[in-house]
Amino acid sequence: MLLGDMGATVVKVERPDRGDDTRSWSPPVDDEGVATYFSSVNRNKYSIALDLDSAKDRDIALRLAERADILIENFPAGSLDGRGLGYAQVSVSNPGIIYCTISGFGSSNQMPGYDLLVQAVGGLMDVTGDAEPTKVGVAIVDVVTGLHALTAILAALHHRDETAEGQLLEVNLLSSLLSSLVNQSATAVLTGESPTRMGNAHPSIVPYEPFATADRELVIAVGNDAQFARMCTALGEPGWAADTRFATNDARVAQREELRELITARLSTNTADAWEAILKDARVPCGPVNSITQALQLADELGLEPVIETNGKRQVANPVRYSRSPAQYQRTAPSLDADRDFVLFLLQRDALTPILEHREEEQDARNEE
Active site residues: 142
Three-class SS of residue 209? strand
The CA-based angle 35-180-134, given to 5 degrees, is 60
In angstroms, the Cα distances linking 110 to 104, 107, 113, 148 are 8, 8, 9, 21
**CA atoms of 297 and 303, how far apart (whole Å):** 10
Three-class SS of residue 219? strand
Report how far Cα 299 is from the mean position of its chain's Cα atoms: 17
* 340 in Cβ contact with 48 (< 8 Å): yes
Query: DSSP alpha helices (H): ranges in the chain?
Result: 2-5, 36-40, 55-67, 87-93, 115-121, 140-163, 173-180, 182-191, 225-234, 249-254, 256-267, 272-281, 292-301, 340-346, 352-368
Three-class SS of residue 83? helix
* 185 in Cβ contact with 123 (< 8 Å): yes
